[in-house]
Amino acid sequence: MTTIAGHLINGEMIADSTRTQPVFNPATGQATKEVALASVETVEAAIAAAQAAYPEWRNTPAIKRARVMFRFKELLEQNADRICELIGEEHGKISHDAAGELQRGIENVEYACGIAELLKGEYSKNVGPGIDSWSEFQPLGVVAGITPFNFPAMVPMWMFPLAIACGNTFVLKPSERDPSSTLFIAQLAHEAGLPAGVLNVVNGDKEAVDVLLTDERIKAVSFVGSTPIAEYIYSTANANGKRCQALGGAKNHAIVMPDADMDNAVNQLLGAAFGSSGERCMALSVAVAVGDAAADALVSKMKEAMQNLSVGAYSDSSNDFGPVITRQHQQKVNGYISSAEEDGATVVVDGRNPQVEGFEEGFFVGATLIDGVTPQMVSYKEEIFGPVLQVVRVNSMQEAMQLIDDHEYGNGTCIFTRDGEAARYFSDHIQVGMVGINVPLPVPVAYHSFGGWKRSLFGDLHAYGPDGVRFYTKRKTITQRWPSAGVREGVNFSMPTMK
């Protein structure tokens, strides 16, 4: 274990290995390298590099910034296998799942390629005699992103490509648990033609984060992670005068109506609940079955289908999902399963301590199905972030919707039904930010925007898409007059109008 993942500052790799921590392969349970944890001085150096690069990059024509994004997209596609391998080695994500993550990230780069169109402002001629007015969208300056372990490729690409295309410079603090794919992707961005200092990556812990939140040179902060940390990020950034969007946790419910195509619902729930080991903020972790007949059918069919699911190492693409990120998280997920059982729920399919041949020390949790869960249980209230699907039984759609509305999180939800009226009512009235109709993971495409409601999002603007452009820019409105020769107005102390 000699390799050290360092930092990318001003176009160069920096070791700064005063403090390090191990990076594990979750499938084997073994530490494979160490990651350097940035000192205050290292983070400040990254901010200084971004600040120095900003004036020239800000004034680079948008079309030239877009051309860098086009080349970056090509390099991502050419190096996809290597990126997915790095994700698998440090996150544990199965190769096909890693490829899907990367593709969704590439789609955000594609959106950033249209930045010249996206930054076009508004223009009005002759708003008054000889007066023209227009608005334009200018970059903020140096901005920062703090990203989670579960999507080391995709979530950073929710942030820095669009921010950079808008003319900002960027300091990225990825998760220290799986840093290598993020660093490799940043190096590809430089290979695509980014000038030194435009994109900087610092690995680290809270010490690094706090510098980004308090340094006056940072103008905005984007964050994705758990709700307690999101709340801290948002409050601290705001207290220091920064624009902030902080995406937090989730407890995503799927309503299963009595008229649902049950076989289709089961197939959709399998992937949505257990894909990526349930380590998604959009994972469906609660199925709300309306009526005992629907609940019994759902549980029976889920139990049968789950017998064929395979958990294992990332390198075997026949596996459905891999390990969770750490030994501690494995124990935490198992604890939630035990907690539900102790509270009176029925563990229908038990994924605690699965045996994966050849990977006995890996951080695996098998697919788990729990029936008879109630809103009073801790396992229902809190985000499990593992391959666990809980079933709550209710008597009506209104009761199901009330259950969802009452929860502190409002990230994503969906309904399985054949009834168009019910689906329309659900999507119109449910208090959740992203809604699916027979679609279990309603993650918006790159040219829309991603974000939940309630305690799943702190801030007014969602991530990427049109909201991303608005987050990484500030509107300036200019009103201009060129008086005609010989024509001069007198002094006017009244508010100007067109009356």
Q: Which residues carry out catalysis?
A: 281
CA angle 88, 93, 96 (to 5 degrees): 95
Other C-beta atoms lying within 10 Å of the C-beta of residue 405: 15
Please name the residue that has the structure tokens 């007066």.
131
Using a CB cutoff of 8 Å and minimum separation of 24, what contacts does 147-150 make? 147/172, 147/173, 147/174, 147/175, 147/182, 147/223, 147/224, 147/225, 148/175, 148/224, 148/225, 149/91, 149/175, 149/177, 149/178, 149/279, 149/325, 150/91, 150/276, 150/279, 150/280, 150/281, 150/325
The backbone region for 337, taken as left when phi is positive above 0, alpha when psi lies in -120 to 50, beta otherwise, is alpha
Interatomic CA distance for residues 486 and 369, integer angstroms: 83
Q: Where are the strands (E) in 459-498, listed by range?
A: 473-481
Interatomic CA distance for residues 249 and 226, integer angstroms: 5
Q: Tell me the three state secondary structure of residue 114.
A: coil
Q: Give me the DSSP letters along 359-402.
A: -TTS-----EEEES--TTSHHHHS---SSEEEEEEESSHHHHHH
Interatomic CA distance for residues 324 and 362, integer angstroms: 9
Interatomic CA distance for residues 221 and 459, integer angstroms: 11
Strands 218-224, 243-247: pairing kind = parallel
Other C-beta atoms lying within 10 Å of the C-beta of residue 117: 9
Residue among 224, 221, 249 at smallest CA distance from 235: 221
The backbone region for 57, taken as left when phi is positive above 0, alpha when psi lies in -120 to 50, beta otherwise, is alpha
Q: Tell me the three state secondary structure of residue 471.
A: helix
